[in-house]
Amino acid sequence: MGIKIVIAGAGIGGLCAALALRKKGFDLAVYEQSAELSEVGAGLQLSPNAMHVLARLNVADEIKALGFQPSAAVMRHYQTGAHYFSVPLGASATEKYAADYLHIHRADLHTALYNACIEEGVSVHLGDAVLGYQLHDNGVSIEFESGTHVQADLLVGADGIKSKVQACMLGESPAEFTGQVAWRGTVKANKLPKNLVKPKANLWVGPGQHFVSYYLRGGDLVNFVAVQERDDWRKESWNEAGDINELKSAFKGWHPEVTELLQGAESCFLWALFDRKPLNQWVDKHVALLGDACHPMLPFLAQGAAMAIEDSYALAHCLVSNLPIPAALEKYQNLRLARTKGIQLGARKNAGLYHMRTPIDQAKLAVLSGLSKLGLSDALAAKQLDGIYGYNLPKNLG
Closest CA to 298 of 216, 225, 189: 225
| pLDDT of the residue at 144 | 95
Considering the entire predicted model, what is its pTM?
0.94
In this prediction, residues 140-146 reach a mean pLDDT of 94
pLDDT digits (tens, 9 = 90+) for 59-89: 999 999 999 999 999 999 999 998 888 899 9
List 123's β-bridge partners, or say none. Answer: 29
Catalytic residue set: 214
At 172 the three-state DSSP class reads coil
**pLDDT of res. 2:** 67
* CA separation for the pair 177, 339 (Å, rounded): 23
DSSP letter assigned to residue 212:
E
**What is residue 38's predicted lDDT score, i.e. its pLDDT?**
73
Query: How many independent structural domains does the chain possess?
Result: 1
Q: What is the pLDDT of residue 230?
A: 84
Indicate the average pLDDT of the chain: 91
Residue 287 CA: distances (Å) to CA of 4, 11, 58, 127, 311? 12, 18, 27, 22, 14
For residue 64, tell me if it sits in a domain. yes
In a domain, 244, yes or no: no
Residue 363 has pLDDT above 90, yes or no: no
Confidence of residue 178 (pLDDT cuts 50, 70, 90): confident
How confident is residue 382, by pLDDT bands cut at 50, 70 and 90? confident
Distance of CA 224 to the CA centre of its chain: 15
Residue 374: inside a domain, yes or no?
A: yes
More confident residue, 366 or 311: 311
Q: What is the pLDDT of residue 1?
A: 55
CA–CA dist 14, 17 (Å, integer): 5
Q: Which residue has the higher pLDDT, 64 or 383?
A: 64
pLDDT at 241: 81
Query: Among 183-197, 208-222, 278-292, 344-358, where is mean pLDDT lowest?
Result: 344-358
Q: Is residue 154 a contact partner of residue 168, using CB atoms and an 8 Å limit?
A: no
Q: What is the mean pLDDT of residues 165-183?
A: 90
pLDDT over 80 at 175, yes or no = no
Q: Residue 369: which pLDDT band, with cuts at 50, 70 and 90?
A: low
Enumerate residues 6+ apart whose C-beta is below 8 A from 146. Answer: 128
Assigned domain for 233 exists = no
In this prediction, residue 366 carries a pLDDT of 67
| pLDDT (tens digit per residue) in 147-173 | 999 999 999 999 998 899 999 999 988
Report yes or no: 219 and 249 within 8 Å, Cβ to Cβ. no
CA distances from 193 to 73, 187, 197 (A): 21, 12, 8
Whole-number pLDDT of residue 357: 74
- For the chain, strand residue ranges (E) read 4-8, 27-32, 43-46, 72-77, 83-88, 102-105, 123-126, 130-136, 139-144, 149-152, 154-157, 176-188, 201-206, 209-216, 221-229, 269-275, 287-289
Mean pLDDT of 108-118: 97
Residue type, 196: L
Q: Residue 155: beta bridge partners? A: 6, 287
Q: Kindly state the average pLDDT of the residues 200-206.
A: 95
The range of the structural domain enclosing residue 316 comes to 4-174+276-397
CA separation, residue 59 to residues 2, 100, 215 (Å): 26, 13, 21
Q: What is the Cα–Cα distance from 241 to 110, expressed in whole angstroms?
A: 21
Indicate if the pLDDT at residue 373 is higher than 70: no
pLDDT digits (tens, 9 = 90+) for 273-308: 888 889 999 999 999 999 999 999 998 999 999 999
Report the CATH number at residue 160.
3.50.50.60
Q: Is residue 242 in some structural domain? A: no
Other Cβ atoms closer than 10 A to 391:
19
Is the per-residue pLDDT at 337 higher than 90?
Answer: yes
Examine residue 211 and state whether it is found in any structural domain, yes or no: no
pLDDT over threshold 60, residue 237: no
282 is a domain residue: yes
Residue 262 belongs to some domain of the structure: no
Q: Three-state SS across 87-133?
A: EECHHHHHHHHCCCCEEEEHHHHHHHHHHHHHHCCCEEEECCCEEEE
